[in-house]
Every structure is written in C-alpha cells, then in structure tokens.
Structure 1
Amino acid sequence: MNMILKTAVAAIALTTATITAASAETRVTYKSAKTGSSYYQMGVELAEAMKAGTGGDISVTVEESQGSVQNVMEVRARGGDYVFTTPPALVGLAQGGKAMFEGKGDPAFDDIRALFPIPSLTMHFVMSADSGVTDIAGLAGKTILLGKGSFGATEGEKYLELFGVADSVEIADAELSNAVAALKNGQIDGFVTAGSYPAPNVIEAAASASVTILSMTQEQVAETKRTEIVIPANTYAGQQADITTTSLPVVAYTTTKMDDDTAYALTKTYWENKAKLGDTSPWWNGVDPAMLGNINGKIHPGAVRYYEEAGIELSEDQK
C-alpha cells in the first residue's frame, strides 16, 4: 500500500508540474499582413525571437491578414492576447471615426495601445543608370513602373502629381513583380516601390544592373507630409551616399486588455533581441528608439515600464 501511495503522490506531483509549466506559457496572436509579404515574414521572425528570447515562456502565433484596416477592426472582438501591426495614423482615424472608419466607430478603438515600432514602409524611386536620372525632376519624359493597388503605387502616383511631372511620365502597364526584369531589358527607365529597406526587389535590381536610387530634398519631403527617413550609404550595391526619402511608420499594437507584465515582456524581449533580428534580416537594423516619436497615441503601461527602465524618453502624451 505504501508503494502504491508513493506512486500516486508522484503522479499527482508530475501532473501538477505539467499544468504549472503549461500555464506559465503566455500565448500571443500576432496579426500583420498577407502570407508571402515582407511584413508576414517579419512576423515569423519576431515570433521566433520571442520564443528564443523568453526561453519559450512567450509563444507567438502569426496570423495572415488582409491589411492594416482589418487588423484595427478586429480589436473589437479580440482579447488580451492580440497584437497587430498598423501605421499610427490609422489608429488615429479609427479613434476619430474618420475616413475608412466613418460610421464604424467603436469604444474598443480607444483602448488601443502601442508596444514598439517595426520597420517602416520606405519609398524607393529606382532608376537605371542609363536613364541619366539623378533627381525627381529628371523623371519627366521617362517610362516608370508603379505597379497596381499597393501603397507604393498609390504614393508614387501622388508624388508624380505633387512634383509636377505626372503629365510627362509614361506609366508602364505591368505588375511590380516584373520591374527588375523590365529594368534590365530596357523596357522601363525605372520603378517605384515601397518596402522596408533594404527592400528585396531593390537589392535584386542594384545587384543585377547599374541603378540610381533617387534622394529627395527637404522641401520635397515636407511637401509629401510623410515621415522623413534616411537609407544609409552602402545599403544597396553601388549606393555611395545616404538617400533621403519618405516613409510610412508601422507599429506593433495591442490593447488595454493585455496585462502589463505581458506587454513589458514583449517590449523588453523585442528590443533586447533586435540586433539578432538584424542578423537574420537587415530591415530590422532600420529600427531605433527614435522611431517611438512617430507614435502619436498612448503606449501600453507595460511597455512604458520597460522604456523608463531602459532610459528611453517618452512624451507625456504617450504615457
């Protein structure tokens, strides 16, 4: 009987230990972008970094998304385990019930809180060296591929209008996926793309052909009303100088439903492993604490705790 009792006690202890270990794991859902996109890949890399950085205490499941608007809208039905990515401007529109959120306002939007910035969508005007184009004004009379339906295409078209060259530029009727081949074959003079630098299609273009990536003046950046970003020299093959261009900041958000300890752990693990993330994919190297200045709304209290411990300054409006 004594042996049986000991066996039973041991079994109970093992079960208890198993339950405790299981309950110690924090599960998080990370919703970002379409499968196959760079932002979905970032989500996968981030999930791996969270698992490694917390010794498995945080488990992140990456969910496919149809875009930032959907990510924000799902806040209404999600719980404290929900993390999503979106530009800060979109959060402001949701909270104000404006633009695509008009008539769709919800009190849940007021509970959105930021965690940390991720790589920004960065505008690239990529021209063949043979085109002779070295600035935006030089686009006049050239054939440019913008692609269709993407942020880069919409933004590129806006810039052509803004800088007075839209009427003199021929827009190639082709998909952005064909841009590098078309550039090499001389079918186009250049293409416009938006992606976190270094962008894979720009890497390919610079490596396989002689290209010039256009830089904007301070006045041009101000005219776009976008956030300035500098692509450091030598980011791409043959790029000898810094490139000043525009970007759309992107941030990882959650809501007040997430407990402070989880938000703290996510934020701390992210920043402490960002260098390793950069070793995996260079686009993470473009993120630094200064990008917290792009967050107009509130930052989660758990994340605020980390930033204060790390000596990273936040505005009073963000706390």
Structure 2
Amino acid sequence: MNFLGKAALAAGLALLAAMPAQAETRVTLKAAKSGSSYYQMSVQIAEAMKAGTDGGVIVTVEESQGSQQNVMEVRARGGDYVFTSPPALVAAARDGKGAFEGKENPAFGEIRALFPLPSLTMHFVMSKSSGVTDFAGMEGKNILLGKGSFGATEGEKYLELFGLDGKVKIADVELSNAVPALKNGQIDGFVTAGSFPAPNVVEAAASTDVTVLSLTDEQVAQTGRAKLVIPAGTYAGQDADIVTTSLPVVTYTTTKMDDETAYQLTKTFWEEKARMGEESPWWTGVDAALLENVTGKLHPGAVRYYEEAGIALSDAQK
C-alpha cells in the first residue's frame, strides 16, 4: 500500500474511532414488591424493551413497597424514571388529597402516562363444598381476607357495602396459605386482588372445586370501581363469565423524560405485548380500551405513538 493509501486508511480508522457508539437509553422501572405479579410484569417489560429495541433501551427493574412510594419519588427522580400506579393515586397526588394531603409538590403535576397494565382484579373465591354462589350466601362462612393488601382492604369494604359486616368469620390465615387452607376445609373462601388469571385462583381451581362469585350491576355501582368481566374458561370449571371490579394500573413517567424515549417505550410495549401474552396470559386482557382509565395527561411521546397507530385519545389526555 502506498503512502496515500495508508494515510487514507489511517484517517478512516480515526474517524470510526471518533464516532459515538450506538446510543443506549437506560430507564429505571419501579413497580412493586419482588415476588408480586406486578414485579414479574416489570421484569417482562424490561425483557421486551431490550428485545424490541435490539438493546437500544435497557430497563432496570427496581423493587417498591407500593404505588404511593412510586408516586412520591417523582420529586427526586430524573427523566429516566418510570413507575406504576393506579390513576386515582396520581390524581390524589396532583390535587393534594388523601395520602398526599399536606405533601403537595409541583412535581406531581408533571406526571404523564405511557401505557396501561393489567388491572388489579377482585376475586371472591369460594369452595364448591361451601354451597356459596352469591354474596348473601357468605353469611356465617369463614373467609380469608389477608392483611395490608389492596385486596384485603377492598374485600372488607365490599362486605360492609353488601350487608355482611360482622356476619362473616374472618380467618386468621396468611393469604399465601389460602389454597391449602381452602383444600383442607380450614376456610370456606378467600378474597384476592391481582391481574387475571390470578396465580392463586388458578391453583385453587385446579386443585379443588371452586366458585368465583359474580357481582350484580347494582353491586358494581355500589363499589364505585370499574366493571370488569373475566371470560368463561379463564379458570378450571368456570363455564360462565364472571362480573367483578378492578382497579386500573398504568405505567407513568414525568415531563422530564424526552419525547423520543417515551415514544420508544410506548411503541415497543404495544409491539411486544402479543409475545408477552404467549408467556403470561395476564397480558391478553390489556388493550387500547384500557386507556379510557387514564384520567390525566399522556406524555407527548406516547401521544405521538397513539396518533400514529390510529388510537383515539380524549382532548384531556393530550
């Protein structure tokens, strides 16, 4: 190779060395306690983002003690922060109400939605041997509510609403022991909240005959929650739809996140959702209709994706 050729090669190599490596976007996703279904979902989302962007977006999953902590942390987090929460909690933070009374912060007004997750779905699971087929039949029965969870609090509220306060025996058993306790007759039923199909309900239905109670439209209205229908065949022995309630859960970030990252996160989630559904059935219940549960604004990057995809948004969401 002559002098000019060597010089050209050296210049080309120098130019290559000076070029930046392919940009890699790093995001932190804070969801729930490890071992919970929402933590598992977050891990699946992280894997989907890496696969769907060929490593262009790397998501680190961070354990959380709950949605309230997730929302509170927006005050100190940057543009790489993503978290999960029910929309009602985000609204409470924005308005300084409920758990956020006296804790107002301008950062709460900068929270923006990206995409919905499977809803927290209420399940009232009764053993077939109990003979219970509706809420009135729960009177005098031994029911496991669990402690400290959304399902426990919500279950207790429903018992009051439906005239069962003080008429049901509350079992002193941990929710993690619900299935064996149901099988051995220690309890007549249990209450749990989780994305459907809920693993503990799948286990209960597969190992013993159960009835998952349906709410009437009047009862759904009494709860003030969103109506949700669990399709027939979701659980073993379930030959009819189950009408119940749910608490929507949404993935959020803040206006600190740049539009391109929010766009990529949203676009990749929807493009990878079908593949995730092949691994975990709870993703099959997520569709664009769940965006109706987003009561605040979406991130402009997410709005860009939904408009490109022809998914209608309300003026209040843009």
**Category of TM-score, reference length = shorter chain:** over 0.9
Cα separation, 1, equivalents of 2:14 and 2:40 = 42
SS of the aligned residue for 2:268 comes to helix
1:87 counterpart letter in structure 2: P
Counterpart selection for 2:18 from 11, 16, 19: 16
**Does residue 171 of structure 1 match 2:170?**
yes
Cα separation, 2, equivalents of 1:187 and 1:263 = 49
1:85-143 per-position Cα deviation (integer Å, ceiling 9, x unaligned)? 00000011000111111111111111100001001110000000001111111111111
1:215 counterpart letter in structure 2: S
Q: Which residue of 1 aligns with 2:260?
A: 261
Cα separation, 2, equivalents of 1:103 and 1:8 = 64
Q: Which residue of 2 aligns with 1:215?
A: 214
Q: TM-score, normalised by structure 1?
A: 0.96
Q: Unmatched 5+ residue regions in structure 1?
A: none
Cα separation, 2, equivalents of 1:175 and 1:217 = 29
1:263-282 alignment, distance < 5 Å = 263-282=262-281
1:99 counterpart letter in structure 2: G
SS of the aligned residue for 2:58 comes to strand
Q: Which residue of 2 aligns with 1:188?
A: 187
Q: What displacement does 1:7 show? A: 7.4
SS of the aligned residue for 1:221 comes to helix
Cα separation, 1, equivalents of 2:220 and 2:191 = 16
Q: TM-score, normalised by structure 2?
A: 0.96
1:34-49 alignment, distance < 5 Å = 34-49=33-48
Q: Which residue of 2 aligns with 1:84?
A: 83
1:62-104 per-position Cα deviation (integer Å, ceiling 9, x unaligned)? 1111111111111111111111000000011000111111111
Q: Which residue of 1 aligns with 2:141?
A: 142
2:21 counterpart letter in structure 1: T
SS of the aligned residue for 1:198 comes to coil
Cα separation, 1, equivalents of 2:33 and 2:185 = 31
SS of the aligned residue for 1:59 comes to strand
SS of the aligned residue for 1:42 comes to helix
Cα separation, 1, equivalents of 2:286 and 2:66 = 21
SS of the aligned residue for 2:185 comes to coil
1:47-86 alignment, distance < 5 Å = 47-86=46-85
SS of the aligned residue for 1:212 comes to strand
Cα separation, 2, equivalents of 1:94 and 1:126 = 33
SS of the aligned residue for 1:60 comes to strand
Q: Which residue of 1 aligns with 2:292?
A: 293
Cα separation, 1, equivalents of 2:164 and 2:302 = 44
Q: What displacement does 1:167 show? A: 1.6
**Does residue 108 of structure 1 match 2:107?**
yes
2:17 counterpart letter in structure 1: T
2:236 counterpart letter in structure 1: A
Q: Unmatched 5+ residue regions in structure 2?
A: none
Q: What displacement does 1:10 show? A: 5.7
SS of the aligned residue for 1:167 comes to coil
2:149 counterpart letter in structure 1: S
Q: In terms of mean alpha carbon deviation, does 178-187 or 302-311 score higher?
A: 302-311
Cα separation, 2, equivalents of 1:272 and 1:301 = 19
Cα separation, 2, equivalents of 1:15 and 1:37 = 45
Q: What displacement does 1:25 show? A: 1.0
Q: What displacement does 1:12 show? A: 3.3
Cα separation, 1, equivalents of 2:263 and 2:163 = 47
Q: What displacement does 1:4 show? A: 8.1
Q: Which residue of 2 aligns with 1:125?
A: 124
1:219-275 per-position Cα deviation (integer Å, ceiling 9, x unaligned)? 000000011111111111111111110111000001111111111111111111111
Q: Which residue of 1 aligns with 2:247?
A: 248
Q: In terms of mean alpha carbon deviation, does 247-256 or 304-313 score higher?
A: 304-313
Identical-pair percentage: 72
2:47 counterpart letter in structure 1: E
